[in-house]
Structure 1
């Protein structure tokens, strides 16, 4: 009891560092990269200042810069030259992500972990994450699973170190695990977007990935933001199907989910600090309302404190420079 107990004693100078409970390291970070085969030079996103999409000719250079900052991994998102209802530009041997993986691996080898996003929304002309029944406007779960398996195998053949299914189709992890194993890629891990919520914070990503829906929305397959117990059910299923790492997306509005998942399962847990979370900090900082560096650090440390081992964030490069 006060005056004998004075917690302020441990908040002075370097004593503060000695008793810090949570630390943020560059080793915790993953930087997203957007690769667009329709452009010839990098293009900055209007809604995400400082974030660019890169042509195939520049992707290895960008990956090299990320690696030199000490960031251990990237996650790739592709924008193809052509889109159709089946997303057929997603699984070809020479499509945009497959070629991007080869170029990065040719330059960097094992210096950088290359993770690939496994979803159809960037490749379909309707913007949804699966095969569509156009009469009912329904996203068909089971026919989509075969396509996701084909995408994963094509990425593994190109040299991807890890695949990350994000479409929230029931059974997607099992379908991808089986496809990888049957094709000799049993050692490729799966990082599943296990608890991905139907969120308004994805808005800037839709510009980045050119993946807006032409009808409806994704609420029939992405989770209701009101649900917490359902997130644990989703994670339970994905773990049983073979997920090696599980992810919560978005991060900042779902820190309670990150905490529950990490506490319940005690396995490698990722959180995606999404585009809207990035853009809000950038916009507020640009207006002089907050200190950007302090806000970035506070946001990322909160994700780590909640239990995340891995943070996918558009701030990865900035954070790496700050941490150095």
Structure 2
């Protein structure tokens, strides 16, 4: 057969693994992956999270081991969530800013052992700590409906952020989606002398069904939903607006959460953002991959790397993922 007279033959750049590596347009690196970790009060050994096989609620000792593994793998940052005792929860979530609260104790232990070897980021939200499971104290609106009090929540976030900074956090990450939270936290940190503590804002956080397994991970007490403060999955421009507002308020990073179903938002935010953009591969994304691979329906390593590469390709500078340390090992 006569050769086709083609002006371009793109397959030339796919002929070998070395060629494909040479022209790859997206690269995953360990330093761009953030390991998400949970530390739980009152347990003597790590507890596996049933809906997130392979992930654990850690003790203060075992979380140090996980951080050490992350550092050895080349991970540059962890994101830490605290799981308090049920009896320590109240309607204000006050254990969140208590010096002896589980999250602040864990931050302090990690900072004491590892110093500046890894960036310690702490979740700055109240849903794990309130008895009702919402992201702030509740109030009643003019029509008699129970709602989350925006301004009172922001005040609590400020106390929480300062407590985390005192414990040793390099970065705080307000995730409650309250109006004005970033500006208020920035002011509170600066007033307390923590001008070098950074803020990663959960800017476009959607009221997503993909968060389901996470509620097991943090022992959530939530009854109801968070649709009145997290974003509607139907909305695109709203996510862009939220990111713009957080940047104007002083966010050092902005984040889109979840990642997989919101890659269009990641791309749009990345196109205009003057600050680094993060995306969070959430618990539901992790659980689906694990379930499919456990059943032999997908190649686990390939699909994990493909999913993360897709998030990176969409524009995320960094990815929060439960796979971070494991994937860093593969990449090395």
Task: Please classify the TM superposition score into its range, dividing by the shorter chain length.
Answer: over 0.9
Shift of 1:136: 2.8
Which of 79, 83, 86 does residue 92 from structure 2 map onto? 86
**Is contact 1:120-1:128 (8 Å) kept?**
yes
Q: Which residue of 2 aligns with 1:150?
A: 159
**Is contact 1:76-1:97 (8 Å) kept?**
yes
Q: Tell me how large the CA RMSD over aligned residues is.
A: 1.1
Which of 285, 302, 314 does residue 294 from structure 1 map onto? 302
Mapping 1:242-257, distance limit 5 Å: 242-257=250-265
Q: Which residue of 1 aligns with 2:119?
A: 113
Which of 286, 290, 304 does residue 282 from structure 1 map onto? 290
Shift of 1:266: 3.8
Q: Which residue of 2 aligns with 1:208?
A: 217
Rounded Cα–Cα distance in structure 1 between residues aligned with 2:329 and 2:61: 25
Q: Which residue of 1 aligns with 2:180?
A: 171
Q: Which residue of 2 aligns with 1:45?
A: 49
Q: Which residue of 1 aligns with 2:9?
A: 6
Mapping 1:192-271, distance limit 5 Å: 192-214=201-223, 216-271=224-279
Shift of 1:53: 0.6
Shift of 1:94: 1.7
TM-score (normalised: structure 2): 0.95
Rounded Cα–Cα distance in structure 2 between residues aligned with 1:270 and 1:140: 27
Shift of 1:158: 0.6
**Is contact 2:52-2:283 (8 Å) kept?**
yes
> CA-to-partner distance for each residue in 1:19-56, whole Å, 9 max, x for gaps?
11111101110011101012111000111011001112
> CA-to-partner distance for each residue in 1:266-305, whole Å, 9 max, x for gaps?
4200000000000000000000000000000000000000
SS of 1:49's equivalent in the other structure is coil
Rounded Cα–Cα distance in structure 2 between residues aligned with 1:212 and 1:283: 25
Rounded Cα–Cα distance in structure 2 between residues aligned with 1:280 and 1:226: 22
Answer yes or no: is 1:316 the counterpart of 2:324. Answer: yes
Answer yes or no: is 1:125 the counterpart of 2:134. Answer: no
Q: Return structure 1 stretches of 4+ with deviation > 2 angstroms.
A: none
Rounded Cα–Cα distance in structure 2 between residues aligned with 1:212 and 1:24: 36
**Residues 57 and 16 of structure 1, relative CA distance in 2, 3 Å threshold:** closer
TM-score (normalised: structure 1): 0.98
**Is contact 2:120-2:169 (8 Å) kept?**
yes
Mapping 1:87-106, distance limit 5 Å: 87-106=93-112
> CA-to-partner distance for each residue in 1:146-189, whole Å, 9 max, x for gaps?
10000000000011000000000001101101110100011111
Rounded Cα–Cα distance in structure 1 between residues aligned with 2:14 and 2:138: 57
SS of 1:110's equivalent in the other structure is coil
SS of 1:62's equivalent in the other structure is helix
Rounded Cα–Cα distance in structure 2 between residues aligned with 1:281 and 1:296: 7
Shift of 1:210: 1.1
- Bigger CA drift: 314-323 or 154-163? 314-323
**Residues 252 and 2 of structure 1, relative CA distance in 2, 3 Å threshold:** farther
